[in-house]
């Protein structure tokens, strides 16, 4: 029978529950246990697909085309295992399932209630994922904060799980321990209150993780233990780290797997963190710094591009450097409050970020022209590749006013369009290409050379494509196809003869891993690195003004 670790959060949101849950999964996996990672999202949406990035951060896409919360990305990056729609449970899914069952007569005339019907459906889904993954341990992160109304049915369900399966469940509660500067001390009262709220619901934590700016000392741990009835050895410190990838190592230093084994009666295996530690050491010790400009429309919330920033960091480490990210709001380029000249740097690399809609697109297009003419490394992702094609159509191929029909339905040159062929790809009226899609690469192109493969699978999330009627004209202008989808649309395009000027319709960032960077990002960072001076005097180092 599988075992369960339920991770809850208290005091405030954005504590990093997903990082803790991912880190625990990382360590258990490295110890040889089969794991399943599950994210519970109490919102009423069926999935995260319709959410504004400013409100919820990045929408992470799985291989099977599910649009999920960004924590699913953490799970994949920290464990190297593929998530799917099964790994995410939302209130919307649960209620819809129960209502449909009631409409079909599945409850035989009973009054359908939160308890037991909603809670039973939650427990059924948790067990189903655990059994399907054949997991020794399932790590279940409960989204939101203890005390949120929408989270109560899930907390009630996991309370029942301990009764249903004694000895097979563990509760880990993460709570913030603030530092008050004027008294020069850490305060545990907010943590105590969040634990009291959990206990009022009927859940007694087995372990407390103290999130704080700095390491909590022994006195704080003893105080937390005393007022929460959690054994002293089960109080763990989680201070701020330079990199999230340090967190598994920090937890391992406190023997967290041993503590988990004690509660869940596991067989005491030890994590093997050698490779992970090697990556973290390489990341933190890298002295060469590479400037990367991130041009997008949601730059006020960096979580909107979480997987892209992580893919850049993975690849920077792989080339012996670290990335210094410079965020450029494309609407500011558009209205002139930021000049394009101010962001031009011959030694830097540029990422044209994805993002649906008209706002900021002309700013991106203007930047693309300057970058193309400058000859610096540029990577365009999804909508970024479409804008690359539009820019070249306008300024090289002579198609004045070329555009996407998403932005201008009446454009004379619909270089990007939602074509009839696309509408047939997804039935029932859907036009979104989602999930892992095959692309056949064109031999001899830069794209083919960097992937070293005839076929690749990258994840997609878009409705519009490069209009195949304009592929010839774009090719004549030097913007050639590097790979085609099975439906015949360009999935990769590149500027012929350029060191690195490549766009992709997919999202390779979703498959990047710390120990296995995405090939497209790796090649991009390698191109940026090679543009920088190689002499000892010319290398820009972290904390140095030299170049």
Catalytic residues: 382, 507, 509
Q: Are 63 and 82 in contact (CB under 8 A)?
A: yes
Query: Is the alpha carbon torsion for 58, 448, 325, 371 positive or negative?
Result: negative
Q: Which helix (H) or strand (E) holds 404?
A: strand 403-404
How many Å apart are CA 96 and CA 101, to the nearest integer? 9
What is the token pair recorded at 7? 């991770």
Tell me phi and psi for residue 380, to 5 degrees: -105, 130
Distance separating alpha carbons of residues 20 and 391, to the nearest angstrom: 43
The contacts of residue 95 (CB under 8 Å, 6+ apart) are 44, 118
- Measure the CA–CA gap between 348 and 290, rounded to whole angstroms: 7
CB atoms within 10 A of CB 50: 10
Question: In whole angstroms, what is the distance from residue 536 CA to residue 428 CA?
Answer: 60
- 3-class SS letters over 92-131: HHHHHHHHHHHHCCCCCCCCCCHHHHHHHHHHHHHHHHHH
């Amino acid at each position: 029978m599988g075992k369960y670790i339920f991770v809850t959060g208290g005091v405030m949101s954005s504590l990093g529950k997903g990082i803790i849950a991912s880190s625990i999964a990382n360590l258990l996996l490295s110890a040889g246990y089969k794991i399943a990672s599950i994210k519970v999202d109490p919102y009423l949406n069926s999935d995260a697909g319709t959410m504004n990035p400013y409100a919820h951060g990045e929408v992470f896409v799985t291989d099977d085309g599910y649009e999920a919360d960004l924590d699913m990305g953490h799970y994949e990056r920290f464990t190297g295992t593929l998530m799917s729609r099964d790994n995410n449970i939302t209130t919307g899914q649960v209620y819809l399932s129960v209502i449909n069952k009631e409409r079909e007569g599945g409850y035989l005339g009973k009054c359908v209630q939160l308890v037991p019907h909603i809670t039973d459906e939650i427990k059924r889904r948790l067990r189903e994922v655990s059994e399907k993954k054949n997991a020794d341990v399932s790590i279940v992160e409960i989204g939101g904060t203890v005390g949120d109304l929408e989270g109560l049915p899930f907390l009630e369900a996991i309370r029942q799980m301990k009764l249903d399966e004694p000895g097979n469940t563990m509760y880990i509660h993460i709570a913030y321990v603030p530092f008050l500067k004027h008294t020069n001390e850490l305060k545990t009262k907010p943590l105590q209150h969040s634990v009291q709220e959990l206990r009022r619901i009927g859940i007694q934590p087995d372990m407390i993780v103290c999130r704080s700016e700095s390491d909590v000392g022994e006195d704080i741990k003893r105080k937390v233990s005393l007022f929460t009835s959690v054994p002293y050895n089960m109080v763990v410190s989680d201070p701020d780290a330079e990199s999230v990838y340090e967190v598994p190592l920090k937890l391992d230093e406190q023997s967290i797997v041993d503590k988990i084994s004690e509660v869940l009666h596991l067989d005491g295996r030890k994590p093997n963190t050698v490779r992970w530690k090697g990556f973290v050491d390489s990341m933190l010790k890298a002295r060469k710094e590479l400037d990367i400009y991130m041009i997008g429309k949601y730059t006020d919330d960096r979580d909107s591009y979480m997987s892209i920033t992580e893919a850049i960091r993975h690849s920077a480490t792989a080339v012996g450097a670290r990335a210094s990210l410079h965020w450029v709001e494309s609407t500011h380029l558009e209205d002139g409050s930021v000049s394009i000249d101010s962001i031009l740097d011959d030694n830097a690399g540029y990422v044209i970020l994805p993002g649906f809609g008209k706002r900021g697109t002309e700013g991106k297009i203007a930047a693309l022209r300057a970058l193309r003419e400058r000859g610096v490394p540029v990577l365009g992702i999804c909508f970024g590749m479409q804008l690359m094609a539009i820019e070249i159509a306008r300024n090289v191929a002579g198609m004045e006013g070329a555009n996407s029909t998403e932005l201008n339905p009446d454009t004379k040159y619909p270089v990007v369009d939602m074509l009839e062929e696309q509408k047939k790809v997804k039935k029932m009226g859907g036009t979104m290409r989602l999930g892992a899609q095959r692309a056949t690469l064109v031999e001899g192109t830069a794209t083919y050379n960097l992937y070293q493969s005839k076929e690749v699978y990258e994840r997609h999330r878009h409705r519009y494509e490069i209009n195949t009627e304009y592929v010839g004209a774009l090719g004549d202008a030097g913007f050639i196809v590097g790979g085609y989808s099975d439906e015949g649309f360009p999935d990769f395009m590149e500027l012929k003869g350029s060191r690195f000027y490549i766009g992709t319709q997919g999202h390779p960032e979703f498959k990047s891993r710390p120990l296995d960077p995405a090939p497209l990002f790796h090649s991009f960072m390698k191109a940026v690195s090679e543009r920088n001076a190689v002499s000892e005097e010319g290398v820009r180092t972290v904390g140095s003004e030299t170049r």
